[in-house]
Amino acid sequence: MIIIMKPGASVGQIAGVIARVKEWGYRVQISEGEDRTMIGLLDSGLPVDREQIERMDGVERTIPVRQPFKLAGREMHPQNSVIQIDGLRIGDESIVVMAGPCAVESREQLLETARAVRAAGGHMLRGGAFKPRTSPYSFQGLGQRGLEILAEAREQTGLPIVTEVMESQAVSLVAQYADILQIGARNMQNYALLHAVGEAHQPVLLKRGMMSTIEELLMAAEYILSHGNDRVILCERGIRTFERYTRNTLDLSAVPLLKQLSHLPVVVDPSHATGRWDLVAPLSLAAVAAGADGLIIEVHPHPEQALSDGAQSLRPEHFEELMRKLEAVARAMGRRL
């Protein structure tokens, strides 16, 4: 339930309402609108006495919340969340482009890629130090050494880092290096991990599971938010279907739907969705036209030598060309890179 305070409600009246509902056992979520304050009550299992609340000083009315994702939903938080990282703002009119290799393979490979991303106008560097792989016999990432290389690349280029964390025990380690903690698609419902990043201080990029509904994605975000971290970025990265030409099917409907249902920023990963570098550019443009707040794109200086996912990686020159086209579509949408 949301309590809408009257436009002129005093700080004392607001504090009074909050104190009262907390006494009853509710947790609250405060939201400052343009001319009034809204107080959201999170699920407590307790029945709510709306009449009693509406008789309190300064209260205008109450609205039931139907969305099961109380904190991630727009009902209790109508304005967009904007997540700031260094100078970047994710979720306002700018489009943020995160780019880099699937995996950190070596210092040379990453620094070369980072410079190329920077030169082309990319805003953040992506790259996996810990890699979830279907086979226990495949390359699993460089681990902590990979994190150190990422940090060096940030120092050299100024690009903030987004990198995956795969288990709750590793959150504190990865958080020493990363600017954004990425939760991979396979871990979208790893609740211990969601809990752990919910207590971290970095923003979280939460990828939609390849088998997860949009509602489940928002409920996974709710886990993180309900543990205290309110800086979550949602990421559409393709779902599984019967189609064989692409690795997964990018669900761009998810972009306007998530923007409608939630106040959180939404980014799109066309590289993993399609598994084909030659589809990355058109789908990146489409994602921006559909309303995405950003993109996360695989770039590799030598895709044919990549240890993982080479087929879906853009060469630097194609990435540069894409950045120019994105600029034009962003402008047409009233946004900017």
Binding stretches for a copy of itself (CB under 8 A): 42-43, 45, 68, 70, 132-137, 166-169, 186-187, 189-192, 209-216, 219, 222-223, 226, 239-246, 249-253, 255-257, 260, 273-274, 278-279, 282-283, 285-291, 328-329, 331-333
Q: Closest approach of Cβ 102 to a copy of itself, in Å?
A: 16
The encoded tokens of residue 3 equal 């309590």
| Cβ nearer to a copy of itself, comparing 51 with 260 | 260
Q: Closest approach of Cβ 240 to a copy of itself, in Å?
A: 4
Q: Closest approach of Cβ 320 to a copy of itself, in Å?
A: 18
| Cβ nearer to a copy of itself, comparing 91 with 209 | 209
Q: What is the Cα Rg of the chain in Å? A: 21
| Cβ nearer to a copy of itself, comparing 215 with 317 | 215
Find the length of the chain.
337
| Torsion angle (degrees, nearest 10) of CA 222, 227, 233, 236 | -40
Strand duo 2-5 + 37-41: pairing: antiparallel
The encoded tokens of residue 20 equal 């009262």
Q: Closest approach of Cβ 1 to a copy of itself, in Å?
A: 13
| Cβ nearer to a copy of itself, comparing 124 with 183 | 183
The string of DSSP letters for 255-323 reads HHHHHHHBSS-EEE-HHHHHS-HHHHHHHHHHHHHTT-SEEEEEB-S-GGG-SS-GGGPBPHHHHHHHH
The string of DSSP letters for 64-111 reads ----S-TTTBSTT--SPP-EEETTEEETSSB-EEEEE-SB---HHHHH
Q: Closest approach of Cβ 264 to a copy of itself, in Å?
A: 16
Q: Closest approach of Cβ 230 to a copy of itself, in Å?
A: 14
| Cβ nearer to a copy of itself, comparing 11 with 135 | 135
Q: Closest approach of Cβ 54 to a copy of itself, in Å?
A: 24
| Cβ nearer to a copy of itself, comparing 24 with 86 | 24
| Cβ nearer to a copy of itself, comparing 88 with 281 | 281
| Distance (Å, whole) CA 109 – CA 2 | 51
**What DSSP state is assigned to residue 6?**
P
